[in-house]
Every structure is written in structure tokens, then in C-alpha cells.
Amino acid sequence: MSGTATGRTEAPASEEPDFLEVRGLHAGYGQARVLQGLDFSVARGEVCAILGPNGAGKTTTLRALSGMVRGRGSVTLNGTELLGRSPEQAARLGVAHVPEGRGTFNDLTVEENLRIGAHLRTGRRNRAAVTADLERIYDYFPALRRRSRQAAGSLSGGEQQMIAIGRALMLRPALLLLDEPSLGLAPLVTRELFGIVRAVNEEERTTVVVVEQNAQLALDIAHRAHVLEAGRLVLSGPAREIREDGQVAEVYLGVSVRSRKAG
């Protein structure tokens, strides 16, 4: 949470710079072709931000990675092709997608929501590990521990977003996809959430791809960033450079990224 304004300096040293590799990704809905050939890669343990205006194809990119929409081209995670798989198969390969709008299971309790995240981790041997992970999630999100037996639908938007992230972490994901985690949340809550995402990334070395409208926030936690416009990448680079190149960001993102070099 603290020091979000500093941004992240170095990408983590990784032997696998192409942990997630996206080549020539095209995707769309029916006649509407949204993605027109994306190329980027994410190193293991890295936080990658995908920025851009409304309708640029940010959400579609994540959906193509998790199998929620069909894509053409190639997306490999640790060498395994992801395209052409169902969302359930992608989850089996370690892709955890926190969908836009959180996807809360309203009538299930908070704990049941989290346990759905561990749906694939069956068997006796996993039982203890799942319980331990549940505790770990509650350590990240103490607010959820207090409400573990409440219906998830009765919680606030911020808490529901915590559930969504916690649920995805219960999958022990190789790749965590976050779609607009700040949507509809108060700035303070959003900051807290992003701080936790950053902590998760640091402690568990989870590779994260986060899609955000709020470029400032996303750039604070990201190592690298890509700017999408009309289904194409128009700008890629280390998050810090994109942050500091205020003019470029303003042109492409349509928002003003205030650089806070002062102080």
C-alpha cells in the first residue's frame, strides 16, 4: 500500500522472459473483430499492465487468454498453447481470471466463494493445503475472515473484489488475470487492493496481467505496460518509462498521468 507513487523500478530477474507469450492474437465477438494481432510477452513473476481507452480490447485480451472468447494466433503459457481451450481447461493449466464485475456467487458464503477457487484441487492430500491457503487468503484480506459465513452478495463492492481476487488465488494460479479491479470502488479501497496485489506478486511470485482504466494505479504496481488502442498495441515498455513519459501517456491513454517526480 505504501509508496505506491514510487512505481516499480526493476522487472524481477527471470530466467523465463517468455513465460506468457502472445503472438498475432486476433479475437472478437461474431462480426466484430476486436483484437487485430497482438504480440507481447510476460516474464515469470512479472506484473504486466494493459492500458487503453474504452473499447480498445483490453478485456477481450484477457478473455482470449482464459478461453472465454475464441482467438486466432498463438498464446503459450510456459510452452503450452492456451488458445482453443475452454475456460475450465485454461483453469486447469493455472490461468485464474478475475472477471470484470467480480463474478461474485451472491448466495454462497464468503468461504464457499473462496473454496470454489479450489474446486480443481481435489483429493485428500490437497485438503490440508486448501485449508492452509484459505488462512493465507484471510491473512491478506482480514475483512473477509470476519465475514466468512456471510452471503457474499451482502458484502460491499470492495469486499466482493477481495473475494474475487482471493478466489482466484485459491487456484494457486500460474497466471493471474485481473480485469478492472478498480471498477466502481472508492479510491482508498482501490489503493488497498492494488497494494495487496503487489504483495501477492512479491510473496508468491505470481505472474499477473492487469487490465485497468486507471493508468496511474496500474503503472504503480506493474513492471511492464502495454497500451492498446483499437485492438493494436501502440506502446510497450517498462512501466516506469511509460509513467514518466507523461506526454505519450496523455496522448495514448486519454488521461493525464501525473508524474510525481517532485519530493
Residue 207's φ and ψ, nearest 5 degrees, are: -80, 130
* 203 near another protein (CB under 8 A): no
In whole angstroms, how close is the CB of 121 to another protein at the nearest point? 9
Closer by beta carbon to another protein, 12 or else 101: 101
Closer by beta carbon to another protein, 34 or else 164: 164
What does the alpha-carbon distance between residue 132 and residue 199 come to, in Å, rounded to a whole number? 18
* 85 near another protein (CB under 8 A): no
* 131 near another protein (CB under 8 A): no
The residue count of the chain comes to 263
Of 8-16, 94-102, 224-232, 251-259: span binding another protein (CB under 8 A) = 94-102
* 92 near another protein (CB under 8 A): yes
Q: β-pairing, 20-29 with 71-77?
A: antiparallel
Could you tell me the maximum CA-CA distance found in the chain, to the nearest angstrom? 55
Q: Are 82 and 93 in contact (CB under 8 A)?
A: yes
Of 2-10, 72-80, 82-90, 196-204: span binding another protein (CB under 8 A) = 82-90
In whole angstroms, how close is the CB of 4 to another protein at the nearest point? 28
The residues that bridge with 74 in the sheet, in sequence order, are 23
Q: Which three cell numbers stand for residue 258?
A: 501525473
What does the alpha-carbon distance between residue 97 and residue 65 come to, in Å, rounded to a whole number? 9
Closer by beta carbon to another protein, 49 or else 152: 152
Binding residue for another protein, selected from 55, 80, 88, 199, defined by CB under 8 A = 88
Binding residue for another protein, selected from 18, 112, 192, 245, defined by CB under 8 A = 112
* 105 near another protein (CB under 8 A): yes
What does the alpha-carbon distance between residue 97 and residue 164 come to, in Å, rounded to a whole number? 9
- Alpha-carbon torsion, ordered 79, 169, 103, 82, to 10 deg: 10
What does the alpha-carbon distance between residue 103 and residue 59 come to, in Å, rounded to a whole number? 14
Binding residue for another protein, selected from 73, 103, 157, 237, defined by CB under 8 A = 103
Binding residue for another protein, selected from 44, 147, 167, 172, defined by CB under 8 A = 167
Of 12-20, 41-49, 105-113, 220-228: span binding another protein (CB under 8 A) = 105-113
